[in-house]
Structure 1
Amino acid sequence: MRRSLVLTDETARHWFRASLPPHVKRDLIPIPAEALWRLTMADVRGVASTYVATTLAIFAFII
């Protein structure tokens, strides 16, 4: 596939981000990968509440 007249940014590593115009990329905020894998109290609370809700729903259907 040949694309003529498409200006790309070689510093953007993904093909889609490279094809974005500069005014769109200006507002992108880089998020470090370490921050995505950090376990927070809200995550633990969400998993616990989902577990309890699912267990109660299964018991309600069984009984």
Structure 2
Amino acid sequence: MRRALVLTNESARHWFRASLPQRRSAFADVPATGSVDWRLTAQDVRGMATTYFATFAAVFAFII
């Protein structure tokens, strides 16, 4: 199998990386907002408590 001497993309030095399409930004479709709402909700607390007690019960069951 013959390969070209000049890569299609000079920044990608490996032949496989050169054959991949150009990378797009992962956050291009996320709108830039000034403030983010990071409130702790009751569902977050309930999920944390459920995880804590399930882990405690599993560890306790393995100890006994």
TM-score by length of 1: 0.48
Higher relative helix content: 1
TM-score by length of 2: 0.47
